[in-house]
């Protein structure tokens, strides 16, 4: 059987489709059709033609909830989710799709309420169906629609009847529209947002748009009311402002000056309740006064430059997929606010409409993106790309119209985005033209318009730091991506934003602070949006029932893109990653500097003062609190700073003194309780007073003699020159460790546009490390010598078939009862690439040879993991954690848990502290870091999911002289030069105690 013609039709839909309009709350009757529907699934499009037949007996059909994705229901009975990034999961044969086209037939009977208004138009609204659906009411065809994340209303006035009605819907997973919906996410078919029957009284409101503006104290409303003559008079009321405007006819509707009003901003999301009442219908809105404007290369809201500290936000939930849940969404946005996120880009489609009400209320700038991406054509040189093919023009225009019309009332929405990664072409230009005509105020964004032919802001994803600087300056007129010098000059006249940067996949991203520094320095740069907010893991189970968060390939997909969908700042479980803590610290809206005994407090906010904050401080000696207080600071206006004296600090006589200041919420906010820390900084007050004492020189040992190396030095026992016991428990090592379980960024093959020698373009660091055998080092003991109270070994470390080696000298000394180990790490010539780490590994088995290490107390940077290019959230302190708490459960196991600049650590067994390490800085004052894990880097690297890690009988302590940065090379720049770990000689010094 040939597929129905609509499955090869590029038109956005047909039938009784209504013009798009705002998603409004009105008192017109509605009937929710969400709930349980009869459902019949087929893996192909050729189904019996009876879905709409009123007499059909569907009692034998399955039941499926609406809203839901059918692949997330029924335990695989209705197919499974599939993840692809760029590639299409079907042949690229536009506009056709295969006959193997999962299709769901839905039926729902409903009674029209007895008091349903007679004479009203009746609309049937679908808020989201993936991807094409055909609708019948009482056996009569209503229409066909596409646009998965877009609302569609059908006029069913003539078809709906008193009493019982039968609604039938046939949904196809694949359709021509799928070519326009190639976003990097799960393919999740089904009716996944609400279905509602809506009465539209003839004297009611067709549509309402309350455009607002604000200028120096006063606000105004520019209303647009779509209504029949019969609906008038129409009254606008804003009770709090005493506004009541009555218009007798459509022609009378005009701008209303509201006088002094507080503006809306992401920081002070001041909303005013407004109603618009016609004869037959009253709509309730919450409006915010703000003016969006581009002046030169600045994007201004209410006259002030906006800096986006944003996140790309997909709609994703481990069990519901893209089905909206208000509590989850509210918490999502509140979590953003708690982490100093001030903006979202709704990548890459309009979210559930309620989300924007939450953004209005909680305060987030929104770049609202249309549901459009044709990225898969990019794999074929963009041949046949719908963006430049007139046959798809209507579909493109339909998408942007439904995007803008639905969400136009939101003060939070300040930029419209045409879509993502759809190449370029006249259909995109047509979308932009439509927006410019419809909403001249809000700028149009589309990253793929590299040369700036039809968009108002310049936007890029993942540019390097050097390119970002080039964009922010005119100096060199260096060519910009895809631009001639003249096109580049045009782009430099516009505000610039990073629609995506800092790919948050796995451990990382690094260098957030460097992007932020550029944004601070160069006002053309308006910040950006991290890719992305959340991992998209779907909760699933192994064959034996172990739950885990699945990614691409875990559902038997024919083609997929693996764990590339797990690139969020928040894990699928909802746990914020260390990367998000880093982001919070880097973008904090209040910044501190210490200068000559004073603290400079700078307010980096858009417009809010610091009146909502309190400054608290504390002093710690070697990580132990000794004093605290509150700092009296005058209110600091946005863009200003204030200098206050630092209180007289009790400086420790020995050890370190740290002064920590925190800006905390003075009162509860809707997104965090009073006391929530908004910004923080630390001052090394010990070193400020007296320079830290240099580490004592290592003990000079004389009289070395070759020896067997079977001896005891204090708490340490050695056999054959190797440590076997410490404080009576089995401890072996330390052995050189150069490997870390590659992070997603280490595995990234992104060529490094910085021209760095940190990586080889097109080859991932991890590939180079494996090729060199860093994960399979072997050892040869070269010499063992003893002297009174001392042991010295030299070991040559290398890998199979390699000539490059590292010579490791270990010198153990016992003097005045103090056991010290000095490790000299000396690379040979010939190491071709950066190293992931340079450290030594101790093993503490907990089978019959010793008790398990339960946890650690350390004094150093913490509390979370940190790496050389991600250190801003880390603070000097004294911390404790269990071994498991030290690791982050990234979706794909990888390097995790490194704590930097550690001064001392104590490992605890079940009965408390057992063993203690004190670290001495090396000759350049550098302190080591440590990792304590139940698995070796090699074991971690071999596991695809956390549950694949083997059972552990050993705790591994790695003391790192150095770690490579984390960078963003999973999709973006590699580790910044300064934080790349090149092979180099390093010294580790530590004192061990039992
Ligand atoms: C971008 C794209 C995003 C996502 C990201 C990588 O190119 O716009 O949707 O795929 O890369 O995770």
**Residue 85: CB within 6 Å of ligand 1?**
yes
Active-site residue, selected from the candidate residues 315, 357, 500, 747? 500
The minimum-distance atom of ligand 1 relative to the CA of 447 is 8
Q: Give the residue whose CA is nearest to atom 10 of ligand 1.
A: 184
Residue 754 pLDDT > 60 = no
**Residue 518: CB within 6 Å of ligand 1?**
no
Residue 176 near residue 145, CB atoms below 8 Å: no
Q: How far is the CA of 177 from the centre of ligand 1 (A)?
A: 20
The confidence band for 691, taking pLDDT boundaries of 50, 70 and 90, is: very low
CA distance 912 to 914: 6
**148 is a domain residue:** yes
Supply the pLDDT for residue 45.
Answer: 84
Q: Say what the alpha-carbon torsion angle 400, 405, 407, 411 is, to the nearest 10 degrees.
A: 110
- pLDDT of 899-952, one tens digit each? 999 999 999 866 666 899 999 999 999 999 999 999 999 999 999 999 999 999
Query: Which whole number is the average pLDDT over 787-792?
Result: 97
Q: How far is the CA of 129 from the centre of ligand 1 (A)?
A: 23
Q: Say whether both 595 and 727 belong to one domain.
A: no
Choosing from 186, 531, 750 the residue with most ligand 1 atoms within 8 A of its CB, the one to mutate for a pocket test is 531
H or E segment to which residue 521 belongs: helix 512-521
Residue where a domain stops, chosen among 544, 561, 583: 583
Supply the range of the domain harboring residue 726.
Answer: 705-993
- The percent of residues in the chain predicted with pLDDT above 70, rounded, is 97
Q: Give the residue whose CA is nearest to atom 2 of ligand 1.
A: 184
**Residue 529: CB within 6 Å of ligand 1?**
no
The minimum-distance atom of ligand 1 relative to the CA of 420 is 8
Supply the pLDDT for residue 693.
Answer: 62
Q: List all residues 6 or more positions away from 924 whose beta carbon is below 8 Å from its beta carbon.
A: none
Give the CATH number, domain containing residue 471: 3.20.20.80
- The alpha carbons of the chain give a radius of gyration, in whole angstroms, of 32
Residue 137 near residue 109, CB atoms below 8 Å: no
- pLDDT of 254-293, one tens digit each? 999 999 999 999 999 999 999 999 999 999 999 999 999 9
Choosing from 367, 370, 378, 500 the residue with most ligand 1 atoms within 8 A of its CB, the one to mutate for a pocket test is 500
Residue 689 pLDDT > 70 = no
**Residue 617: CB within 6 Å of ligand 1?**
no
CA distance 503 to 506: 9
Q: Say whether both 28 and 102 belong to one domain.
A: yes
Give the CATH number, domain containing residue 610: 2.60.40.10
The minimum-distance atom of ligand 1 relative to the CA of 971 is 6
Query: Which whole number is the average pLDDT over 48-76?
Result: 96
Q: Say whether both 186 and 236 belong to one domain.
A: no
**Residue 462: CB within 6 Å of ligand 1?**
no
Q: How far is the CA of 897 from the centre of ligand 1 (A)?
A: 27
Residue 690 pLDDT > 80 = no
Q: How far is the CA of 184 from the centre of ligand 1 (A)?
A: 6
**29 is a domain residue:** yes
Q: Give the residue whose CA is nearest to atom 3 of ligand 1.
A: 184
- pLDDT of 177-194, one tens digit each? 999 999 999 999 999 999
Active-site residue, selected from the candidate residues 421, 582, 620, 895? 421
- Distances in Å between the alpha carbon of 364 and those of 458, 515, 579? 21, 21, 20
Q: Say whether both 100 and 155 belong to one domain.
A: yes
Determine if the pTM surpasses 0.85. Answer: yes
**365 is a domain residue:** no
- pLDDT of 490-524, one tens digit each? 999 999 999 999 999 999 999 999 999 999 999 99
**Residue 500: CB within 6 Å of ligand 1?**
yes
- pLDDT of 400-453, one tens digit each? 999 999 999 999 999 999 999 999 999 999 999 999 999 999 999 999 999 999
- Of 834, 329, 742, 838, whose CA–CA distance to 506 is shortest? 742
Q: Give the residue whose CA is nearest to atom 9 of ligand 1.
A: 184
**Residue 567: CB within 6 Å of ligand 1?**
yes
Q: Say whether both 245 and 175 belong to one domain.
A: no
Count how many domains the chain has.
Answer: 5
Residue 726 near residue 713, CB atoms below 8 Å: no
**544 is a domain residue:** no
Q: How far is the CA of 548 from the centre of ligand 1 (A)?
A: 24
The minimum-distance atom of ligand 1 relative to the CA of 565 is 12
Supply the pLDDT for residue 908.
Answer: 86
Choosing from 348, 421, 533, 565 the residue with most ligand 1 atoms within 8 A of its CB, the one to mutate for a pocket test is 421
Supply the pLDDT for residue 681.
Answer: 97
Supply the pLDDT for residue 687.
Answer: 60
**Residue 421: CB within 6 Å of ligand 1?**
yes
**Residue 531: CB within 6 Å of ligand 1?**
yes
Token look-up 């509590």 returns 327
**305 is a domain residue:** no
Q: Say whether both 793 and 851 belong to one domain.
A: yes
Q: Does residue 500 have an active-site annotation? A: yes
Burial 580-599 (b: 16+ CB within 10 A, else e): bbbbbbbbbbbbbebeeeeb
Residue 755 pLDDT > 60 = no
Q: How far is the CA of 448 from the centre of ligand 1 (A)?
A: 12
Q: Does residue 421 have an active-site annotation? A: yes
Give the CATH number, domain containing residue 28: 2.60.120.260
Supply the pLDDT for residue 574.
Answer: 97
Q: Give the residue whose CA is nearest to atom 6 of ligand 1.
A: 971
H or E segment to which residue 401 belongs: helix 393-407
Q: How many CA atoms lie within 13 A of 405 on its CB side?
A: 19
- pLDDT of 852-885, one tens digit each? 899 999 999 999 999 999 999 999 999 999 999 9
**561 is a domain residue:** no
Q: Say whether both 128 and 246 belong to one domain.
A: no
**Residue 461: CB within 6 Å of ligand 1?**
yes
Q: Say whether both 215 and 116 belong to one domain.
A: no
Give 925: exposed, middle or buried? Use CB within 10 Å, 0-12, 13-18, 19+.
exposed
Q: Say whether both 471 and 525 belong to one domain.
A: yes
Q: What value does the mean pLDDT of the chain take?
A: 95
Q: How far is the CA of 509 from the centre of ligand 1 (A)?
A: 15
Q: How far is the CA of 378 from the centre of ligand 1 (A)?
A: 13
Q: Give the residue whose CA is nearest to atom 4 of ligand 1.
A: 184
- What tokens were used for 219? 């606000």
Q: How far is the CA of 941 from the centre of ligand 1 (A)?
A: 25
Q: Say whether both 86 and 229 belong to one domain.
A: no
Q: Say whether both 194 and 237 belong to one domain.
A: no
Residue where a domain stops, chosen among 280, 297, 322: 280
**487 is a domain residue:** yes
Supply the pLDDT for residue 688.
Answer: 43
- What tokens were used for 231? 């609906």
327-333: long-range pairs with CB below 8 Å, 24+? 329/354, 329/355, 329/358, 330/358, 330/362, 332/533, 332/534, 333/358, 333/359, 333/362, 333/364, 333/671
Supply the pLDDT for residue 911.
Answer: 63
- pLDDT of 799-820, one tens digit each? 999 999 999 999 999 988 999 9
Residue where a domain stops, chosen among 180, 200, 220: 200
- pLDDT of 95-131, one tens digit each? 999 999 999 999 999 999 999 999 899 999 999 999 9
Q: Say whether both 379 and 497 belong to one domain.
A: yes
Supply the pLDDT for residue 750.
Answer: 60
- What tokens were used for 517? 């520094």
H helices, E strands: number in the chain: 11, 60
Give the CATH number, domain containing residue 751: 2.70.98.10
**797 is a domain residue:** yes
Q: How far is the CA of 345 from the centre of ligand 1 (A)?
A: 13
């Amino acid at each position: 059987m040939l597929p129905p013609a609509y499955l090869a039709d590029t038109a956005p839909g047909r039938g009784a489709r209504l013009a798009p309009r705002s998603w409004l709350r009105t008192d017109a009757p509605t009937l929710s059709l969400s709930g349980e529907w009869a459902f019949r699934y087929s893996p192909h499009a050729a189904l019996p033609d009876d879905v709409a037949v009123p007499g059909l007996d569907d009692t034998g059909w399955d039941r499926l909830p609406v809203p839901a994705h059918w692949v997330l229901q029924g335990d695989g009975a209705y197919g499974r989710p599939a993840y692809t990034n760029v590639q299409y999961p079907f042949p690229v044969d536009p506009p056709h799709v295969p006959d193997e086209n999962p299709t769901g037939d839905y039926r729902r009977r409903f009674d029209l309420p007895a008091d349903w208004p007679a004479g009203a138009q009746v609309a049937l609204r679908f808020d989201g169906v993936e991807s094409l659906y055909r609708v019948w009411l009482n056996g009569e065809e209503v229409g066909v629609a596409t646009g998965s994340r877009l609302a569609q209303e059908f006029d069913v006035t003539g078809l709906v009847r008193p009493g019982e009605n039968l609604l039938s819907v046939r949904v196809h997973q694949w359709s021509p529209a799928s070519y326009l919906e190639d976003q990097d996410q799960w393919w999740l078919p089904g009716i996944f947002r609400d279905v509602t029957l809506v009465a539209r009284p003839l004297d009611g409101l067709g549509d309402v748009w309350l455009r607002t503006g604000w200028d120096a104290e006063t606000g105004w409303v520019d209303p647009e009311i779509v209504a029949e003559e019969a609906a008038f008079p129409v009254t606008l009321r804003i009770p709090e402002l005493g506004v009541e405007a009555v218009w007798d006819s459509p022609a009378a509707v005009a701008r209303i000056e509201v006088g002094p009003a507080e503006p809306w901003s992401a920081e002070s999301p001041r909303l005013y309740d407004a109603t618009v009442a016609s004869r037959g219908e009253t709509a309730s809105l919450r409006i915010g006064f703000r003016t969006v404007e581009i002046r030169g290369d600045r994007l201004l809201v209410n006259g002030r430059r906006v800096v986006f500290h944003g996140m790309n936000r997909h709609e994703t939930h481990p069990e519901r997929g893209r089905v909206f849940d208000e509590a989850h969404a509210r918490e999502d946005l509140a979590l953003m606010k708690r982490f100093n996120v001030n903006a979202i880009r709704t990548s890459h489609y309009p979210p559930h409409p309620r989300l924007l009400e939450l953004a209005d209320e909680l305060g987030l700038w929104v770049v609202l993106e249309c549901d459009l991406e044709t990225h898969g054509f990019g794999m074929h040189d963009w041949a046949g790309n719908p963006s430049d093919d007139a046959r798809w023009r209507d579909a493109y225009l339909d998408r942007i119209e439904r995007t803008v019309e639905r969400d136009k009332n939101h003060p939070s929405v300040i930029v419209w985005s045409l879509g993502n990664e759809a190449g370029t072409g006249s259909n995109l230009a047509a979308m932009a033209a439509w927006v410019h005509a419809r909403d001249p105020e809000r700028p149009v964004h589309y990253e793929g318009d590299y040369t700036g032919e039809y968009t108002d802001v310049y936007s890029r994803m993942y540019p390097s730091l050097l390119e970002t600087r080039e964009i922010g300056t005119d100096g060199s007129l260096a060519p910009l991506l895809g631009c001639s010098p003249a096109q580049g000059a045009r782009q430099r006249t516009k505000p610039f934003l990073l629609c995506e940067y800092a790919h948050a996949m796995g451990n990382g991203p690094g260098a957030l602070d460097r992007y932020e520094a550029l944004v601070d320095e160069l006002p053309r740069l308006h910040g950006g949006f991290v890719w992305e907010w959340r991992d998209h893991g779907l909760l699933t189970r192994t064959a034996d029932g172990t739950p885990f968060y699945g990614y691409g390939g875990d559902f038997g997909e024919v083609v997929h893109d693996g764990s590339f969908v797990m690139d969020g700042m928040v894990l699928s479980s909802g746990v914020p990653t260390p990367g998000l803590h880093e982001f919070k610290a880097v973008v904090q809206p209040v910044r501190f500097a210490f200068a000559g005994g004073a603290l400079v407090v700078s307010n980096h906010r858009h417009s809010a003062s610091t009146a909502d904050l309190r400054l608290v401080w504390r002093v710690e000696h070697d990580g132990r609190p000794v004093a605290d207080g509150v700092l009296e600071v005058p209110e600091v206006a946005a863009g200003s700073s204030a200098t206050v004296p630092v209180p007289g600090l009790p400086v420790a006589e020995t050890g370190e003194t740290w002064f920590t200041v925190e800006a905390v919420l003075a009162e509860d906010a809707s997104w965090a309780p009073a006391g929530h820390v908004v910004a923080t900084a630390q001052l090394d007050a010990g070193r400020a007073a007296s320079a830290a004492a240099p580490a004592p020189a290592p003990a000079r040992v004389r009289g070395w003699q070759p020896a067997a190396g079977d001896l005891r030095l204090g708490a340490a026992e050695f056999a054959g020159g190797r440590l076997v016991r410490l404080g009576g428990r089995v401890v072996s090592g330390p052995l050189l460790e150069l490997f870390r379980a590659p992070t997603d960024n280490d595995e990234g093959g992104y060529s490094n546009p910085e021209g760095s020698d940190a990586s080889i373009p097109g080859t991932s660091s991890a590939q180079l490390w494996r090729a060199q055998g860093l994960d399979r080092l072997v050892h040869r003991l070269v010499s063992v010598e003893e002297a009174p109270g001392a042991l010295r070994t030299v070991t040559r470390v290398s890998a199979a078939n390699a000539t490059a080696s590292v010579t490791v000298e270990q010198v153990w000394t016992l003097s005045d009862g103090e056991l010290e180990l000095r490790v000299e790490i000396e690379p040979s010539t010939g190491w071709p690439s950066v190293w992931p780490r340079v450290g030594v590994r101790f093993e503490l088995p907990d089978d019959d040879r010793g008790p398990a290490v339960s946890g650690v107390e350390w004094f150093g940077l913490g509390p979370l993991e940190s790496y050389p290019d991600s250190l801003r959230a880390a603070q000097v302190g004294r911390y404790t954690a269990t071994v498991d708490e030290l690791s982050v459960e990234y979706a794909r196991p990888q390097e995790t848990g490194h704590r930097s600049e550690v001064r001392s650590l104590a490992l605890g067994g079940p009965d408390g502290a057992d063993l203690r390490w004190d670290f001495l800085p090396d000759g350049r004052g550098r302190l080591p870091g440590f990792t304590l894990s139940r698995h070796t880097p090699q074991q971690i690297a071999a596991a695809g999911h956390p549950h694949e890690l083997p059972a552990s009988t050993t705790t591994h302590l790695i003391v790192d002289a150095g770690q490579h940065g984390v960078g963003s090379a999973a999709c973006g720049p590699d580790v910044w030069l300064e934080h790349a770990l090149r092979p180099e000689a390093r010294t580790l010094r530590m004192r061990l105690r039992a």
